[in-house]
Structure 1
Amino acid sequence: MNSKKFVFYASLAVSLGLISIGVFMPNQLEHFSNSSLNFIYNNLGWFILGSVFIFFAFCMYIGLSKFGHIRLGDDSDRPEYKTATWIGMLFSASIGISLVFWGVAEPVSYYIDPPFGKGSSEESAKLAMQFVYLHWGVSAWACYALVGVSLAFFQFRKKLPASLSSVFYPLIGDKIRGPFGKVIDVVVILSIVIGIATSLGFGTLQVNSGMNVLWGLPVNINTQAIIILVVTFIYVASTVSGLQGAMKHLSNLNMLLAFALLGFVLFLGPTQTIFKIFFQGVGDYVQNFVSMSFRTEPYSDGSWIASWTLFYFGWWIAWAPLVGSFVARISKGRTIKEFMMGAVFIPVLGSFFWFAVMGGSAIHLIQNMGETALATAVSTDVTSALFKFFEYFPMGVFLSILAMVLVLIFFITSANSAVFVLGMISENGNPNPAHKTKIIWGIVIAAISVVLIMTGGLAGLQSALVATAVPLAALMLIMCYSTYKGLKGELLLLSKETSKESEEQVVNIKKKPAAKKA
């Protein structure tokens, strides 16, 4: 077999093999995945929590220290995308679709069943926003930023292939091009394929649920298959057009629609209460960030932390190769400090405000307005939570349609970025992969999504993805050391170049002939 195609064929074969297990033995896969997940939660939860905190600390260190001025590229490079477009692409490629899905459902779920204390109370309302902010805050984005900054540095500054194995160059040198590097790339591709397939599967279920609420369309595999087919055609076509084309325009459209939806709910809903919830939530989050980040509940069964906090942190780690690779691709020319401030804090503030508007309004309706039917609807079916929430607003049908369009576009941009990253890694770090490779991965992802929905294997594969968080976390901890070593070597190189330039200037000054006296 052609060694240049090894990563592509090997990852494709493994992906299809695992999916076949999901097709023919979905119950066994789900049982194995859940067993693995329970083992991790009971024995290695502390490792996941500690790793995520280290990722955040490392990102802040290299962003605010002497490494911060290093540019992700040559010193003469400047950002390829405007900051607003760059931020829009960050959201579109990563958690945009998840924000829409969980914007109402998650805060209300925590309000009903808080991590501690009495549910459906004023205290549980505060705890709901506090823990939502923990799960979607700097901890999540630090996982993406770590992979993104590491890959961007080695790809654009050190001119290595756009592949995650390149990050380990300071430790193993040219072995990144050998079997070790290829194994890393295959594992990364596998996590990306499973991650994007499960995410798109959940997105399809939400769109189908919205269509059922609005127009009575049946919730079944036929409707869901048609949704996936239409979306697949769009995202494959947009991927082929390239980042400068459809991806850029779709990301900008995403942000406009998201702002429009936020604006409607903000001004049609309890505006003053939303701002109070936002500021209260941010304050509680900042005040309790460290204690929440290390909360393991050793004196109880820890089921809530396992079901939510550990699951989310594992999910962010599992998604880090995909989102980090894409973030690296669009961040050429930015300094590390600029990258960290933009890739960690700006998206976090946007996510916090989204949950304050959507989730905060929903809790207000239940807690202050007595609309307990909304809580019941969320408990019954999280996929329809957003659309049930809009029934309490003027122009509810319009808001639901706007939300579905937003989900579909996030759907497209998430798949778009995934297919692009899969193409890059499959072709040994080619920053502009062939259309054929991207089309193949686009079709594979769509097929996997349909198969998982048909067989009910979506939950099992989702658990399998999170179970990969432990080896990926270990790999990312090594990545921290490797990146630090690479950055330290770069500073030393820059220092030598500066000293050499200074010596040359002194020599040139001495060589200049003295001016003749008149």
Structure 2
Amino acid sequence: MVKKENNNVFIISLIVVFAIVLWGLILPENFESTATALFNYLVGNFGWFYLVSMFSFVGFSIWIAFSKYGKIKLGPDDSKPEYSFISWFAMLFSAGMGIGLVFWGIAEPLNHFIAPLGMEGGTAAAASFAMKKSFFHWGLHPWANYCVLALALAYMQFRKGKPGLISSIFIPLIGEERAAGPIGKFIDILAVFATVAGVATSLGLGTLQINSGLNYMFGIPESSTAQIIIVAVVTVLFIISATTGLDKGIKFLSNVNVSLAGVLLVLTLLVGPTLLIINSFTEGIGMYLGEFIRDSFHIEAFGNGEWFGWWTIFYWAWWIAWAPFVGTFISRISKGRTIKEFVAGVLLAPTIASFIWFAVFGSAGINLGTDIAAEAIKSTPTAFFVVMSNYPLGGFISIVAVILLCTFFVTSADSATFVLGMMTKNGDLNPDNKRKVTWGIIQSLLALTLMLAGGAGGLGMLQTASIAAAFPFAFVMIFGMVSLVMALRKDYSKLSSKDEA
């Protein structure tokens, strides 16, 4: 009976993914106009909802860490963490941000520097604005978004022994039977689509950036042939990593990621404007904390909110679209940690790492002035390489960056492959290799097909569709917070009774 149910979720998910891809390939204009219209409607009419929801995730995460529930473990009371803090951080960071940091680490601050909101571009004020907004978009909000879903899921998985499925977080709220019924299956299938679409988009954009970097540094042409080779090589690598399991492939490559990222940061800090970077980091944190509440709710109600639609609201919607994948993966690797330890690790450590990253690379870009900044942002995939070519050891740093892109590429894909295996096998914590390989190939073919059909535009269509389709996950996470508190109250009362006895 269970097997049949598993196959149904797997088959329906495949049908949904292929149907949407075929729609995009056969009727690209219709697909794009429909997805764009839906996305614009959501951003235009529910921008306030995205802002309020994301802030609620931050508030909830901080509250629950310091609440009376903070000492409750994600697992039996005597359970211990499966991974060291370094390996745990490396895996969650690689899955949660990964390739996006290399892609946007220089490009986003330079975009804000050249075209800031409500001020003249290229000025000192524009530079400060650029760093503050980059910190804001990659700070506590996205990680709180992951934290809420991952915490509820890890609690239900390891404390209550329920399947590792998004639908499991609703069990305290609606009961196990309903959560396993049509509503739960719909949520799980939607989670599969959001994961496949989101990761395929990132894989495609990562391929374009690797190809652009190789072209910029070595003259390798930006062509379909080169992109097919890149995707083929990376696909083989991430399938090998995924099939060797968490403890070997994914853990090893995640540790490599953090090491390479550290090398990249230190080299750029040394050859770049070191004092400016330190000052920018210091000022950026001050501005971030000082205007945190205002920025969390700022939407230009009486002005032109288009900037927020393209940046803040777009990011919030994109992070929510990634929550099913990243939340499921983070929950899978977090058994044995207390709620307080979990929140501190998921919320604070990656946020600080992101701040350091943007301070180093954003400052390095802004330091070169408006002419180079304007040149760099003409093409987001090559922005990093354009800036680095103006610094000593820039060629070497760019080579390290391409290697890091490849390893981030692999870890994002193998983490997603692992999660998709879990999602389509009733939350099995160790899905079989056949299922992981199937999803790995599907992700790569999806990214490659859309890339060859429409380049970044084709991937953009999928990204827009996935963000629009993931809108319901904001409600999933809101109800997930309610459901988690309901379960924790019961758990805490039992623990209190044991202590009194």
TM-score range, shorter chain: over 0.9
Query: In the alignment, residue 465 of structure 1 is paired with which amino acid?
Result: S
Distance 1:469 1:123, change over 3 A: farther
Contact 2:190 2:470 in 1 (8 A): no
Q: Residue 160 of structure 1 aligns to which amino acid in structure 2?
A: K
CA contact (8 A) 1:109 1:378 kept: no
Bigger mean CA offset, 320-329 vs 27-36: 27-36
Matched residues, number: 495
1:440 corresponds in structure 2 to 438
Distance 1:430 1:97 in 2: 27
Q: C-alpha separation between the residues in 2 aligned to 1:155 and 1:3?
A: 19
- C-alpha deviation, 1:23, in angstroms: 1.3
Contact 1:238 1:247 in 2 (8 A): yes
Q: Say which of 198, 222, 226 aligns to 2:201.
A: 198
Alignment of 1:179 onto 2:179: no
- Which structure 2 residues correspond to residues 395-414 of structure 1 after superposition, within 5 A? 395-414=393-412
Whole-angstrom distance in 2 between the partners of 1:226 and 1:94: 26
Q: Percent identity?
A: 43
Letter in 2 for 1:466: I
Q: Shift of the alpha carbon at 1:468?
A: 2.8
- The more displaced of 37-46 and 443-452 is 37-46
Alignment partner, residue 516 of structure 1: none
- Mapped to 2, the partners of 1:414 and 1:470 lie a distance apart of 22
Matched residue of 2:291: which SS?
helix
| CA shift for structure 1 position 316 | 0.6
Q: Is the 8 A contact 2:193 2:466 kept in 1?
A: no
Coordinate RMSD, CA, aligned: 1.0
Query: 1:138-171 CA distances to partner (integer Å, 9 max, x unpaired)?
Result: 0010000011111000000000011111100011
How far is 1:211 from its partner? 0.6
CA-to-aligned-CA distance 1:329-374 (integer Å, 9 cap, x gap):
01000000000011001100000000000011111121xxxxx332
Distance, in Å, in 2 between the alignment partners of 1:299 and 1:179 is: 43
Structure 1 residue 469: Cα displacement: 4.0
Matches of residues 273-284 of structure 1 in structure 2 within 5 Å? 273-284=276-287
* Unmatched segments (≥5 aa) in structure 1: 367-371, 503-518
1:319 and 2:305 are equivalent in the alignment: no
Q: C-alpha separation between the residues in 2 aligned to 1:409 and 1:116?
A: 38
1:57-94, CA deviations, whole angstroms, 9 ceiling, x for partnerless residues? 11111111001000000011111000011111111111
Say which SS state the counterpart of residue 86 (structure 1) adopts: helix
Paired residue type of 2:464? S
Of 99, 108, 111, which residue of structure 1 is paired with 2:101? Answer: 99
Q: What does 1:231-242 align with in structure 2 at a 5 Å threshold?
A: 231-242=234-245
Say which SS state the counterpart of residue 162 (structure 1) adopts: coil
User: 1:135 touches 1:309 (CA, 8 Å); kept in 2?
Assistant: yes
1:340 equivalent in alignment to 2:340 = no
Q: Give the structure 2 partner of residue 419 of structure 1.
A: 417
Q: Which amino acid aligns with 1:491?
A: Y
1:47: which partner in 2? 49
Corresponding residue of 1:471: 472
Matched, 1:307 2:310: yes
Instruction: Provide TM-score, normalisation by structure 2.
Output: 0.97
Instruction: Name 2:392's counterpart in structure 1.
Output: 394
Q: Counterpart in 2 of 1:68?
A: 70
Superposed displacement of residue 282, structure 1:
0.5
Residue 230 of structure 2 is matched in structure 1 by 227
Read off the aligned partner of 2:20 and give its amino acid letter. Answer: L
For the residue of structure 2 that corresponds to 1:293, the secondary structure is helix
Instruction: Work out the CA distance in 2 between the residues paired with 1:111 and 1:90.
Output: 30
Choose from 101, 112, 115 the match for 1:113: 115
Task: Provide the rounded CA distance (Å) in 1 between the counterparts of 2:6 and 2:305.
Answer: 47
Partner letter of residue 393 of structure 1?
Y
* 1:136 Cα offset (Å): 0.4
The CA deviation at 1:128 is 0.5
CA positional deviation for 1:410: 0.2
Give the letter aligned to residue 342 of structure 1. Answer: G
Structure of higher CA gyration radius: 1
Where does residue 381 of structure 2 map in the other structure? 383
Q: Aligned partners of 2:64 and 2:27: how far apart in 1?
A: 46
Candidates 84, 87, 93, aligned match of 1:85: 87
- Matched to 2:107, the amino acid is A
The answer (yes or no) to whether the contact 1:238–1:416 under 8 Å persists in 2 is: yes
| Aligned counterparts, 1:348-359, within 5 A | 348-359=351-362
Task: Kindly provide the CA deviation profile for residues 189-221 of structure 1, in whole angstroms up to 9, marking residues without a partner as x.
Answer: 010000000011110010000010011111122
The amino acid of 2:363's aligned partner reads: G
C-alpha distance in 1, partners of 2:432/2:470?
Answer: 30
How big is the shift at 1:498? 2.3
2:30 is equivalent to residue 32 of structure 1:
no
Counterpart AA for 2:495: L
3-state SS of 2:214 partner: helix
Q: Aligned equivalents of 2:330 and 2:316: distance in 1? A: 19
Verify the 8 A CA contact 1:48 1:470 in the aligned structure 2.
no
Conserved? CA contact 1:196–1:414, under 8 Å:
yes
Cα distance in 2 between the residues matched to 1:148 and 1:410 = 21
Q: Give the whole-Å Cα distance in 2 for the aligned partners of 1:421 and 1:473.
A: 20
Are 2:238 and 2:410, in contact at CA under 8 Å, matched by a contact in 1? yes
Any conservation in 2 of the 1:33–1:464 contact (CA below 8 Å)?
A: yes
The SS at the match of 1:67 is coil
In structure 1, C-alpha distance between the alignment counterparts of 2:410 and 2:76, rounded to whole Å: 32
Deviation at 1:483, TM superposition (A): 0.8
Deviates most, 403-412 or 23-32 = 23-32
Q: Say which SS state the counterpart of residue 119 (structure 1) adopts.
A: coil
| CA shift digits 1:41-63 (9 cap, x unpaired) | 21110001000001111111111
Q: Is the 8 A contact 1:22 1:455 kept in 2?
A: no
Match of 2:453 in 1: 455
**2:499 aligned with 1:498, yes or no?**
yes
Structure 2 unmatched runs, 5+: none
Which whole-Å deviations, capped at 9, do the CAs of 1:175-196 have from their partners, x for residues lacking one? Answer: 2222221111101001000000
Question: Hey, what does 1:505 align to over in structure 2?
Answer: none
Measure the CA separation in 2 of the matches of 1:459 and 1:25.
15
* Contact 1:277–1:356 (CA under 8 A) maintained in structure 2: yes
- Partner in structure 2 of residue 3 of structure 1: 5
Cα displacement (A) at 1:470: 2.6
Kept in 1, the 8 Å contact 2:82–2:334? The answer is: yes
1:151–1:163 Cα contact (<8 Å) kept: yes
Q: 1:268 touches 1:394 (CA, 8 Å); kept in 2?
A: yes
| Aligned-pair CA distance for 1:454 | 1.3
State how far apart, in whole Å, the 2-side matches of 1:101 and 1:433 are: 31
What does 1:99-178 correspond to in 2, within 5 Å? 99-174=101-176, 175-178=178-181
Contact kept in structure 2, 1:26 and 1:455, CA below 8 Å = no
- Alpha-carbon shift at residue 107 of structure 1 (Å): 0.1
Which segment is superposed worse, 67-76 or 28-37?
Answer: 28-37
Q: Which amino acid aligns with 2:180?
A: R
